[in-house]
C-alpha cells in the first residue's frame, strides 16, 4: 500500500503543476499590458484574411459559430462563447490582446483553451486579420 501512495503523490502533484501552468497564461477580462504592446507581424491582405478564415473555420467555428457571433453548435454546455464581431472585447481589443487570447486561451476559469500547440504564430495573426475584416462589415 505504501508503494502505491508513494508513486501516486508525486504524480498528483505533477498533474496539479501542469494544470496551473496551462491556465496561468490564459488571459483574463480587462486585457493585457503585454498584448497592448504587441504589433501584428502579418500585414492584413486578401491572402492573410483568406488564410485566417480557413484557420477560423477549422479551429474556432465549433464554439464561436461560422459567423463568429458566439453561436457555435459545439460550445461546452453552460458556456457563452464571445461574439467576435461586436464592439465589446472583454479581454482586450488590440491585435496583440486578441492574439494572446487565441494563443494562450481565456481565463480565469479556463473558458477557452489556447491554440499555440495547434496553430503557428503567423496562422494566429491571420485569424486576427480575419476577425478584423468581419468587424469592418
Q: What letter would DSSP give residue 73?
A: T
Question: Does residue 10 belong to any structural domain of this protein?
Answer: no
> pLDDT by residue for the chain (137 residues), tens digit each?
555 445 444 444 333 333 333 334 566 677 888 999 999 999 999 999 999 999 999 999 999 999 999 999 998 888 889 999 988 788 888 999 999 999 999 877 658 889 999 999 999 999 999 999 998 66
Whether residue 110 lies inside any domain: the answer is yes
Q: Is residue 66 part of a domain?
A: yes
Question: What is the SS3 assignment for 28?
Answer: coil
Distance CA 94, CA 58 (A): 23
- Residue 83's CB: how many other CB atoms inside 10 A? 16
Scanning the structure block, which residue is given the C-alpha cell 479556463? Answer: 110
| Residue-level pLDDT at 88 | 79
pLDDT in tens, 79-90: 889 999 988 788
| Sequence-distant (≥ 6) Cβ neighbours of residue 12 within 8 angstroms | none
Q: Which domain holds residue 93?
A: 26-135
Please report, for the domain that includes residue 116, its CATH number. Answer: 1.10.760.10
> Does 108 sit behind a cis peptide bond, omega within 30 degrees of 0 on the bond before it?
yes
Question: Is residue 84 in some structural domain?
Answer: yes
In a domain, 6, yes or no: no
Amino acid at each position: 500500500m505504501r508503494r502505491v501512495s508513494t508513486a501516486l503523490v508525486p504524480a498528483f502533484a505533477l498533474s496539479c503543476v501542469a494544470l496551473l501552468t496551462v491556465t496561468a497564461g490564459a488571459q483574463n477580462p480587462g486585457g493585457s499590458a503585454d498584448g497592448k504592446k504587441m504589433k501584428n507581424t502579418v500585414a492584413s491582405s486578401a491572402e492573410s484574411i483568406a488564410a485566417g478564415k480557413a484557420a477560423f473555420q477549422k479551429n474556432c467555428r465549433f464554439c464561436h459559430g461560422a459567423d463568429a457571433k458566439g453561436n457555435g453548435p459545439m460550445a461546452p454546455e453552460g458556456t457563452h462563447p464571445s461574439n467576435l464581431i461586436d464592439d465589446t472585447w472583454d479581454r482586450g481589443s488590440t491585435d496583440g490582446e486578441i492574439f494572446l487570447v487565441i494563443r494562450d486561451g481565456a481565463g480565469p476559469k479556463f473558458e477557452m483553451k489556447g491554440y499555440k500547440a495547434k496553430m503557428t504564430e503567423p496562422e494566429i495573426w491571420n485569424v486576427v486579420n480575419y476577425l478584423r475584416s468581419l468587424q469592418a462589415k
